[in-house]
C-alpha cells in the first residue's frame, strides 16, 4: 500500500515539476543539417517556430518567470524527495 501511495506521489510530483520547471531548460539546438542549409530566398524571415515542448512562460517576461519558477520549486523538491524515498526505502529494508 505504501509503495502504491509513494509511486502515485512520485508520478504526480514529477509530472507537475516537469511542467513547471520546463522553462528553465535551454531550447533544443537545431540539427547540423538544418544549420548547413543555405538560405535560398533572401526576402523572408522564418516564421517563429513553436517548440515541441511549449514553455510555460516567455523569457521576455521576467516577473512571470520568477513567479512560475518559485511556485514550481516545492513540487520539484517533493519529486526529488519521493524518488529518494523510493530508492532508499526498499534498500534500507533489504539491509535490515
Give contact residues for another protein (rule: CB under 8 A). Answer: 1-2, 4-5, 8-9, 12-13, 15-16, 20, 23, 42-48, 54-75, 78
CB of 38 to another protein, least distance (A): 16
Distance of closest approach, residue 59 Cβ to another protein, in angstroms? 4
Which residues, 6 or more positions from 59, have their beta carbon under 8 angstroms from its beta carbon? 23, 65
Cβ proximity to another protein: between 11 and 87 the closer is 11
* SS3 call for 64: helix
Q: d(Cα 39, Cα 36) in Å, to the nearest integer?
A: 9
Amino acid at each position: 500500500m505504501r509503495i502504491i501511495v509513494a509511486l502515485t506521489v512520485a508520478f504526480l510530483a514529477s509530472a507537475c515539476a516537469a511542467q513547471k520547471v520546463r522553462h528553465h531548460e535551454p531550447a533544443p539546438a537545431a540539427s547540423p543539417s538544418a544549420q548547413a542549409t543555405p538560405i535560398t530566398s533572401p526576402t523572408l524571415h522564418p516564421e517563429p517556430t513553436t517548440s515541441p515542448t511549449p514553455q510555460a512562460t516567455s523569457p521576455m517576461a521576467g516577473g512571470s518567470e520568477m513567479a512560475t519558477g518559485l511556485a514550481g520549486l516545492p513540487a520539484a523538491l517533493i519529486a526529488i524527495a519521493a524518488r529518494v524515498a523510493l530508492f532508499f526505502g526498499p534498500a534500507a529494508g533489504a539491509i535490515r
